[in-house]
Structure 1
Amino acid sequence: MSWRCVLALAAVLPLTTPASGASGDAALAVPEVCARAPLAAPLDVLEAVERALCHHPQTRQAWAGVMAQAARLETARAAYLPAATASIGAFKGNSSRAISGRPQLDSRQNSDTRAASVDLSWTLYDFGQRRAGVEQARALLEAAGATRDATLQSVFAAAAQAYYDLLSAQGALAAARDAEQAARESALAAAARHQAGAASLSDKLQAQTAAAQAVLSRVRAEGEAQNAAGTLAAAMGMSVATPLTLAAGPTSLPGTAFVQSVAVLLEQAKRAHPSVRAAQAQLQAAQQGVAAARADGMPTLSLSASVERNRQSSESQADADARSKSIGLQLRIPLLAGWSRAAGVHAAQAARDAKAAELAQTEQDVALELWKNYQGLGTETESLKASEELLQSAAQSADVVRGRYKAGVGNLLELLNAQSALADARQQRVQATSRWHSARLKLAASLGQLGYWAVR
Structure 2
Amino acid sequence: MRSNARLLTLATLTGVCTNAALAFGTIDPFDTSAITPPRPNLSATAEGSYAPCKAIPSGSIYGLLEVVDQALCQNPNTHEVWANARVQAAQVGVAQSAFLPKLDGNLATSRVRKQGENTTLRSASLTLSWLIYDFGARSANLEAARQLLSAATSTLDATVQSVFLAALQSYYNTQAARAAVIAAQESEKSSRESFTAAEARYRIGTGTPADRLQAQTAWSQATLNRIKAEGVARIAYGTLANVMGMNAGQSLQLADIPEITPSADIERDIDALIVEAQQRRPDLKAAEAQLKAAQANVDYTRSAGLPTLALSTGPVWTDSGSITSHSSAIGVTLTLPLFSGFSTSYRVRSAQASAEVAGAQRDNVRLQVALDVWSAYQSLITATQSVKTSADLLASAEQSERVALGRYKAGVGTILDLLNAQSALAAARLQRIQATLDWNVFRAALAKAIGTLDGSLLNSAAGTHTQ
1:89–1:114 Cα contact (<8 Å) kept: yes
Which moves more between the two structures, 180-189 or 300-309? Answer: 300-309
Match of 1:103 in 2: none
Q: Which residue of structure 2 lines up, in the alignment, with residue 43 of structure 1?
A: 62
Q: Does 1:133 align with 2:141?
A: yes
Please say if 1:436 is aligned against 2:455: no
Query: Are 1:58 and 2:77 an aligned pair?
Result: yes
The alignment status of 1:384 with 2:387, answered yes or no, reads yes
CA contact (8 A) 2:37 2:153 kept: no
Which of 236, 239, 244 aligns to 2:244? It is 236
Q: Does 1:265 align with 2:273?
A: yes
Kept in 2, the 8 Å contact 1:162–1:232? The answer is: yes
Pair 1:184-2:192 in alignment: yes
Instruction: Specify which of 408, 411, 416 is matched with residue 413 of structure 1.
Output: 416
1:256 CA drift (Å): 8.6
In the alignment, is the contact (CA less than 8 A) between 2:40 and 2:73 conserved in 1?
no
1:215 to 219, 223, 233: 223
1:417 corresponds to which letter in structure 2? N
Structure 1 unaligned segments of length 5 or more: list them. Answer: 17-24, 97-107, 314-318
| Counterpart for residue 320 of structure 1 | 323
Kept after mapping to 1: 8 A contact 2:41/2:69 = no
The alpha-carbon distance between structure 1 residues 352 and 28, as it changes in their structure 2 partners (threshold 3 A), is farther
1:363 to 362, 366, 369: 366
CA contact (8 A) 1:14 1:449 kept: no
Aligned runs of 1:53-92 on 2, under 5 Å? 53-92=72-111
Provide TM-score, normalisation by structure 2: 0.86
Aligned match of 2:124: 116
| Cα distance in 2, alignment partners of residues 402 and 256 from structure 1 | 37
Query: Hey, what does 1:101 align to over in structure 2?
Result: none
Q: Determine the structure 2 residue equivalent to 1:250.
A: 258
Deviations 1:222-261 (A, max 9, x none): 1111111110011111121122221111123476978731
Contact 2:195–2:219 (CA<8 Å) still a contact in 1? yes
Question: TM-score of the superposition, structure 1-length normalised?
Answer: 0.88
Q: 1:271 to 1:91 in 2, by over 3 A?
A: same
Q: Secondary structure at the match of 1:80?
A: coil
Q: Which of 189, 205, 209 matches 2:213? A: 205
8 A Cα contact 2:47 2:456, kept in partner: no
Seen in structure 2, the aligned counterparts of structure 1 residues 199 and 212 have a Cα distance that, compared at 3 Å, is: same
Name the CA distance, whole Å, in 1 between partners of 2:354 and 2:110. Answer: 53
| CA distance 1:412–1:109, shift in 2 (3 Å) | closer
User: Which of 155, 160, 173 lines up with 2:181 in the alignment?
Assistant: 173
Aligned residues of 1:85 and 1:119 also touching (Cα < 8 A): yes
Question: Contact (CA 8 Å) 1:11, 1:29: kept in 2 or not?
Answer: no
For structure 2, the 5+ residue unaligned runs are 1-24, 26-32, 462-467
Q: Check conservation: 1:52, 1:155, Cα contact below 8 A.
A: yes
Q: Deviations over 1:164-211 (max 9, x none)?
A: 000001111111110110110110011001111111111111111111
Contact 1:397 1:418 in 2 (8 A): yes
**CA-to-aligned-CA distance 1:82-110 (integer Å, 9 cap, x gap):** 122111223344433xxxxxxxxxxx434
One-letter amino acid of the counterpart of residue 396, structure 2: S
Q: Establish whether residue 151 from structure 1 lines up as the match of residue 151 from structure 2.
A: no
Query: What is the rounded CA distance, in whole Å, between the counterparts of 2:52 and 2:274 in structure 1?
Result: 35
Check conservation: 2:125, 2:315, Cα contact below 8 A. yes
**Equivalent residue letter for 1:122:** W
Q: Could you report, residue by residue, the CA deviation over 1:319-372 in whole angstroms, capped at 9, with x for unpaired residues?
A: 322121111222222222222211111111111111001100011111111111
Does the alignment pair 1:448 with 2:456? Answer: no
Secondary structure of the residue aligned to 2:452 is coil
- CA deviations over 1:366-405 (Å, ceiling 9, x no partner): 1111111111101111111111111111111112222222
Residue 77 of structure 1 and its aligned partner are, at CA, apart by: 1.2
Query: Is 1:335–2:338 an aligned residue pair?
Result: yes
Pick one of 282, 290, 294 that aligns with 1:282.
Answer: 290
| Aligned residue number for residue 51 of structure 2 | 32
- What's the C-alpha RMSD, in Å, of the aligned pairs? 2.4
Asked if structure 1 preserves the Cα contact closer than 8 Å seen for 2:176 and 2:437, the reply is yes
- Rounded to whole Å, the distance in 2 between the matches of 1:226 and 1:384 is 26
Matches within 5 A, 1:340-359: 340-359=343-362
Q: Matches of 1:182 and 1:59 in 2, distance apart? A: 47
CA shift in 2, pair 1:385/1:209, >3 Å: same
1:195 corresponds to which residue?
A: 203
SS of residue matched to 1:241: coil
Q: 1:254 to 1:231 in 2, by over 3 A?
A: farther
Please state whether the residue corresponding to 2:249 is helix, strand or coil: coil
User: Which residue is equivalent to 1:316?
Assistant: none
Q: How far apart, CA to CA, are the structure 2 residues paired with 1:338 and 1:146?
A: 39
Aligned partner of 2:246: which letter? M
Report matched runs for 1:286-305 at 5 Å: 286-305=294-313
3-state SS in 2 of match to 1:36: coil
CA contact 1:14–1:149 (8 Å) conserved in 2: no
1:329/1:146 Cα in 2 relative to 1: closer, same or farther (>3 Å)? same
Give yes or no for contact 1:15–1:450 (8 Å, CA) kept in 2: no
Contact 2:42-2:52 at 8 Å conserved across structures? no
Whole-Å separation in 2 of the counterparts to 1:385 and 1:243: 34
- Report whether the alignment pairs 1:403 with 2:411: no
Between structure 1 and structure 2, the one with the greater Rg is 1
| Structure 1 residue 444: Cα displacement | 1.1
For residues 41 and 272 of structure 2, what CA distance do their matches in structure 1 show? 18
Aligned CA distance change for structure 1 residues 307 and 31 (closer, same or farther; 3 Å): farther
Specify whether residues 216 and 27 from structure 1 end up closer, same or farther in structure 2 by C-alpha distance, changes over 3 A only.
closer
Q: Cα distance 1:10–1:211, how it changes in 2: closer, same or farther (>3 A)?
A: farther
Closer/same/farther in 2, CA of residues 62 and 256 from structure 1, 3 Å limit: farther
Q: Structure 1 residues 213, 261: CA separation in 2 closer, same or farther (over 3 Å shift)?
A: same
Report deviation, 1:27: 6.8
**1:31 & 1:81 partners in 2: Cα distance?**
44
**How many residues were matched structurally?**
426
Mapped to 2, the partners of 1:266 and 1:125 lie a distance apart of 46
**Counterparts in 2 of 1:142 and 1:258: CA distance versus 1, 3 Å:** farther
CA distance in 2, matches of 1:156, 1:419: 38
